[in-house]
Structure 1
Amino acid sequence: MSSQKTLLRLFNKGLSFPSDQQKLQLELVNKITQNLLISNTTNYFRPDRELQSMISCITPNVTYHVLSNPDLPPHSLLSFFNFLRSRNFNITHILDIKAHVILLSRLFEARKFATMKSILSSVVIDGKLCCPIPGVVSLVGELDPHFAEKLFDMLFRVCSDNRLFEEAFRVFDYAKMMGLGIEERSCFVLLLALKKCGELDLCRRFFHRMLESGRIQIRVQSLTLVVDVLCRGGEVEKAKELMAEMAGKGQMEAAEILLEEMQSKGIDPNIVIFNTMIDGYCRRGLIDEALRVQDIMARKEIEADVFTYNIIACGLCKVHRYEEAKRTLNTMLEKGVVPNVVSFTTFIEIHCKEGNLAEAEWLFRDMEKRGEVPNVVTYNTLIDAYSKNEKMKQAHMLKSEMVEKGLLPDVYTYTSLIHGECIAGRVDEALNLFNEMSAKGIIGNIATYTSVISGLSKEGRADEAFKLYDEMMGMGLTPDDRAYAALVGSLHKPSSHGNQHHEIGEHK
């Protein structure tokens, strides 16, 4: 029903019969409709003698009326449309843009997509698009959004198939402007046509427009095609940059194909290419795939550098494979690769996870002797370990030390300390840290709020816990199950805080 209303809006837009011709035009519409209904079993429109004598009186309005008639099935509409086309009616007159769009809309409702494309292809005559794109654009506001998107996608494909590249770009830009999507496979058709025509620069530029649109999910085929274009044009560095960009977005299957593409052309990937691939896999938790790429590096006799080892070690830590991470870093040292701050921080994290805080502390001091300055992440790693083990004196000393060195504590620093104080049962100390953090303009995250809520709940301070919960929700942070469980538990515990009520955020 909504599609019929859309057709009526489109049909009635600027539509009227001149008063002196109205009777004749309506009579003509009725006769054509009756004729089509009678010949419903055939695919050909055969006007009777009376109607034949009136054919020359057909106007655009008559055409709109007939094509919009919901009683006529799609094949009857097509037979009428083809009849007009066979009689060489001017496409800009009787079969104008609106007539085409009305017919295409009816075909879209019937899911006759191949016929839709055939109709659109017919508007390309002598290598030119006879249906002005701005004319189609002017009708979009009257169309169903799903039909409009399909229409633009097909028009884009028709332009690409006929190598009308400027028109294809124009359709793409109009679709983007109006929030309509062009399918990735349609974009691939254009990329392929551009490549076949030797328009390599246009091919590369259009691919970047696909990326910039933010609406197109790039497939391997499109990326591979563009990489081939870049390599053929001698733009190997741009191919590398493109791979790095796509790997950063997660698209790693494509990175592998790029690697094969470069090798097939006698271009040996360097350490940057391999590190990019390894990092892409590690970010997605695909550590075994990352290690496989490292093996390929070794077979090609490309020496891993400190970044390679760091990426793999960090990736292994993320999936809790600490022994392997430690072996990776030890291998790095054995091969004479000089560790950097990331290497030391990862080593410290491994020792902390293993509960060997003494070794972690020794390594922390040793890195300074080697000339590597600990950064915020290094300090946070050790502070978090001390806090979880209720060694709050050492944790606070590290916080003071990092401030003295000009490093600013962040939300992770404060969250670790707050969590530690709550574990130790010093909730008021945790609240002081929470207020200090807020006063410094550092916004707490879910872990920060959950730690304080849990600490308050354990002491039976339900009012304060729920107040903090409300504040958390107001910030758009969704509490986890631990916070909910703590809040429920707080309602069943007597307050150990007497009648005193600590005002959360009183120093904000």
Structure 2
Amino acid sequence: MPQANNPVSFPRPKDFAHFVLDRIHDVELGLKFLDWASKRPYSCSLNGSAYSSLLTLSARFKVFSEIELVLERMKLEELKPTCEALSVVIQAYADSGLVDKAVELYYVVGEIHNCVPSVFACNSSLNVLVKHQRIETARQVYDKMLENSCVDNCSTCIMVRGLCKDGKVKEGRELIEDRWGEGCIPSVVFYNTLIDGYCNKGEFESANGLFKELELKGFLPSLETYGVMINGFCKKGDFEAIDRLLLEMKERGLKVNARAYNNIIDARYKHGCTVKVV
């Protein structure tokens, strides 16, 4: 007796949409695909994975209007975006200077997934918060990152820079020592940040002390280190110290950039000194 033919089962668009979207590198093309998928026979609403892929695609190209529409649609359909997708969106907002949106979604990740976004998204958020002088919020983000073991050297450096810009250099150093141990400053980058912080506060002796400590610990001052120190001594009007630094740079084969020279010339004028052409 002949067997009845079994009906052929085709995958539904919602089951493969995210695989396609993950491979598309054009937002307009992605939206056209979704429009096509929605008109197929037996079509149904997209799932969270597909929407998350669309979020990621839109964020990569910073199409924020589409991101808002997708997030609203997901909220209405009670679907949760993945942590990975939200991380990409947060980074896009932060890198574009949209600090409030980045912070808002940072907290959304915690509410939905009980974790923090990726370290890249967190660092971008820290960076934009520091740029907007929202140091208290940045510290809250940083502390939450610590709780979730989501901190790298870049995270700490951004936070220290923010504290130093806010005049809290001592707190910045304590933050470094909390992570690496008392008396430990792990790299010349951190020294530069702290030295700059002291110079901006007018605490030139503390800045010079760190400069000497840096060399005693075997670190070589970078061009940035010399630039920060020269700028500090320009504010103080200590041109003998500046000349010593310039000589040290020459002996090491380092060239002074135009910005440093301009600072020196400007400082000599302000302090009533003769301007020497170097």
| TM-score after normalising by structure 2 | 0.66
Q: Which residue of 2 aligns with 1:92?
A: none
Task: Pick one of 310, 328, 334 that aligns with 2:172.
Answer: 328
Tell me the SS of whatever aligns to 2:186: coil
Q: Which residue of 1 aligns with 2:5?
A: none
Contact 1:262 1:268 in 2 (8 A): yes
Q: Which residue of 2 aligns with 1:310?
A: 157
Map 1:78-477 onto structure 2 (within 5 A): 169=28, 196-197=45-46, 200=51, 203-204=54-55, 207=58, 211=62, 218=65, 221-222=68-69, 224=71, 236=84, 239-263=86-110, 264-265=112-113, 268-298=116-146, 300-302=147-149, 304-318=151-165, 321-322=166-167, 324-336=168-180, 338-429=185-276, 432-433=277-278
Q: Which residue of 1 aligns with 2:7?
A: none
Q: Quick one: which amino acid aligns to residue 176 of structure 2?
A: M
Q: CA deviation at 1:392?
A: 1.2
Q: CA deviation at 1:379?
A: 1.0
Q: Quick one: which amino acid aligns to residue 327 of structure 1?
A: E
Cα deviations by residue, 1:346-377 (Å, 9 ceiling, x for unpaired): 22123323444333223112213324332222
Q: CA deviation at 1:422?
A: 1.2
Q: CA deviation at 1:268?
A: 4.6
Q: CA deviation at 1:197?
A: 4.4
Contact 1:224 1:254 in 2 (8 A): no
Q: Quick one: which amino acid aligns to residue 255 of structure 1?
A: A
Measured in 1, the distance between the counterparts of 2:163 and 2:70 equals: 29
Q: Quick one: which amino acid aligns to residue 207 of structure 1?
A: S
Measured in 2, the distance between the counterparts of 1:270 and 1:258 equals: 12
Aligned sequence identity (%): 19
Contact 1:306 1:332 in 2 (8 A): no
Q: Quick one: which amino acid aligns to residue 109 of structure 2?
A: M
Measured in 1, the distance between the counterparts of 2:148 and 2:159 equals: 18
Task: Report which structure shows greater RCO (CA 8 Å, sep ≥6).
Answer: 2
Cα deviations by residue, 1:38-91 (Å, 9 ceiling, x for unpaired): xxxxxxxxxxxxxxxxxxxxxxxxxxxxxxxxxxxxxxxxxxxxxxxxxxxxxx
Deviates more, 1:324-333 or 1:238-247: 238-247
Give the 3 Å change call, closer, same or farther, for CA 363–253 of structure 1 in structure 2.
Answer: same
Contact 2:58 2:64 in 1 (8 A): no
Q: Which has the larger radius of gyration?
A: 1
Tell me the SS of whatever aligns to 1:307: helix
Measured in 2, the distance between the counterparts of 1:383 and 1:281 equals: 28
Measured in 1, the distance between the counterparts of 2:74 and 2:264 equals: 49
Q: Quick one: which amino acid aligns to residue 269 of structure 1?
A: P
Cα deviations by residue, 1:369-404 (Å, 9 ceiling, x for unpaired): 324332222111110121222211221221232343
Give the 3 Å change call, closer, same or farther, for CA 284–416 of structure 1 in structure 2.
Answer: same
Q: CA deviation at 1:307?
A: 3.1
Gaps of 5+ in 2: 1-26
Tell me the SS of whatever aligns to 2:149: coil
Give the 3 Å change call, closer, same or farther, for CA 286–234 of structure 1 in structure 2.
Answer: closer
Q: CA deviation at 1:413?
A: 0.9
Contact 2:191 2:210 in 1 (8 A): yes
Q: CA deviation at 1:427?
A: 4.8
Q: CA deviation at 1:417?
A: 0.9
| TM-score after normalising by structure 1 | 0.39
Measured in 1, the distance between the counterparts of 2:271 and 2:113 equals: 63
Contact 1:270 1:302 in 2 (8 A): no
Contact 1:278 1:308 in 2 (8 A): yes
Contact 2:135 2:162 in 1 (8 A): yes
Contact 1:271 1:302 in 2 (8 A): no
Give the 3 Å change call, closer, same or farther, for CA 345–208 of structure 1 in structure 2.
Answer: closer
Q: Quick one: which amino acid aligns to residue 336 of structure 1?
A: W
Give the 3 Å change call, closer, same or farther, for CA 393–222 of structure 1 in structure 2.
Answer: farther
Gaps of 5+ in 1: 1-167, 173-189, 434-508
Measured in 2, the distance between the counterparts of 1:227 and 1:328 equals: 41
Q: Quick one: which amino acid aligns to residue 203 of structure 1?
A: L
Q: CA deviation at 1:252?
A: 2.6
Cα deviations by residue, 1:424-445 (Å, 9 ceiling, x for unpaired): 434542xx25xxxxxxxxxxxx
Cα deviations by residue, 1:100-124 (Å, 9 ceiling, x for unpaired): xxxxxxxxxxxxxxxxxxxxxxxxx
Q: Quick one: which amino acid aligns to residue 173 of structure 2?
A: L
Q: Quick one: which amino acid aligns to residue 140 of structure 2?
A: R
